[in-house]
């Protein structure tokens, strides 16, 4: 396949390198020193999970218009960077192109073909002016939930540090030929890609962890194992998760696990420096709108009280403002 990775940072770099390694025609959209390093010496993948390390010479640019129509476009940007990128991606999209947003948080396409009373609704925390829906026809979208971790530790050098599981699903929950084709390509590249017929439940299952652990990590500076070892902090995590579960269940997605079972999944990450802490330390904007603000918006729509989530959100926003990264 012709594959473009839009946002060849940590997760995007791992996806691109592995897909290229099994013969796909991969191009990358990157920027800054990372772009310069890949152009000069190739993309170096250091794989701590499957030892599939290597250096890959791949076509790389800051401009999607430098590449033609693709079979598969994987968006691996931070959520707050997607709105400005979507209009620039038009050169990559043909009638058959599949677009897979491999992103954190509630996705902007969440209510597209959802089938309930809010079908087609915009989440204003994510797409306040409707520009994202206007820039990309959602018929191209296949949803994705990423259960793996990676870091860019130097320009041009990505480290795959944990996990290989990817859950993909059609917005209308159907089992399509294109869904199976993308999963097959990812599995052949060494990932564990699963086709889901309930992708929004999968979104919520991961989001509960991001909603609670990520802003708390940014506020405390704790690694995942430190959060899980601090009973007082874990009580905050439990309160936020409880509220998130209530919102999720209201929209038809009851969690198939208890709060402590969800915390046990997080424990398996060990001494991980989770994404909002990484972003805070690098003075990059945090994905608060997609991970926390959107959940508060859906809670308000449903008249569900989420006081713990609001407190954590307010403190995390204040922390970013204090550091000048809001």
Whether 206 is catalytic: yes
The answer to whether 144 and 179 have CB atoms below 8 angstroms apart is no
> What's the CA gap between 82 and 101, in Å, rounded?
9
> Which of 44, 57, 78, 206 is labelled catalytic?
206
Task: Please tell me the distance from the alpha carbon of residue 285 to that of residue 29, in angstroms, as a whole number.
Answer: 20
Cα 121 from Cα 123, distance rounded (Å): 7
**How is residue 52 written in tokens?**
């599939």
* Residue carrying the six token digits 């073909």: 113
| Rounded Cα distance, 3 and 287, in Å | 26
Helix (H) or strand (E) holding 39: helix 32-41
Give the strand order in the sheet containing 2-6.
59-61, 25-29, 2-6, 72-75, 98-101
C-beta of residue 141 within 8 angstroms of C-beta of residue 261: no
Residue 314 has φ and ψ, to the nearest 5°, of -65, -40
Among candidates 154, 280, 259, which has minimal Cα distance to 215?
280
**Active site members:** 206
């Amino acid at each position: 396949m012709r594959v473009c990775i839009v946002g060849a940072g940590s997760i995007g770099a791992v996806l691109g390198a592995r897909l290229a390694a099994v013969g796909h025609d991969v191009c990358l959209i990157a920027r800054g020193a990372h772009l310069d390093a890949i152009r000069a010496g190739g993309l170096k993948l250091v794989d701590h999970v499957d030892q599939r390390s290597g250096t890959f010479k791949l076509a790389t640019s800051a401009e999607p218009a430098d590449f033609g129509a693709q079979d598969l476009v994987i968006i691996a940007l931070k959520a707050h960077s997607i709105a400005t990128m979507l209009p620039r991606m038009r050169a990559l999209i043909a009638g058959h192109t599949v677009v897979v947003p491999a992103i954190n948080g509630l996705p902007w396409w969440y209510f597209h073909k959802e089938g309930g009373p809010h079908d087609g609704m915009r989440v204003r925390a994510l797409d306040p002016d409707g520009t994202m829906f206007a820039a990309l026809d959602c018929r191209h979208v296949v949803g994705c939930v990423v259960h793996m971790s990676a870091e860019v530790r130097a320009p041009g050098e990505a480290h795959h540090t944990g996990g290989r599981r990817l859950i993909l699903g059609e917005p209308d929950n159907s089992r399509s030929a294109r869904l199976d084709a993308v999963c097959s390509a990812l599995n052949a590249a060494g990932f564990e890609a699963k086709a889901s017929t309930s992708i929004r439940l999968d979104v919520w299952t991961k989001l509960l962890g991001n909603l609670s652990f990520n802003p708390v990590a940014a506020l405390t500076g704790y690694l995942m194992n430190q959060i899980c070892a601090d009973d007082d902090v874990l009580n905050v995590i439990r309160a936020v998760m409880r509220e998130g579960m209530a919102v999720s269940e209201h929209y038809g997605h009851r969690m198939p696990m208890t709060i402590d079972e969800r915390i046990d999944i997080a424990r398996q990450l060990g001494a991980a420096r989770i994404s909002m802490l990484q972003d805070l330390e690098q003075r990059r904007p945090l994905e608060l709108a997609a991970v926390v603000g959107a959940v508060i918006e859906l809670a308000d729509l449903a008249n569900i009280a989420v006081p713990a989530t609001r407190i954590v959100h307010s403190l995390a926003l204040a922390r970013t403002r204090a550091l000048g990264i809001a």
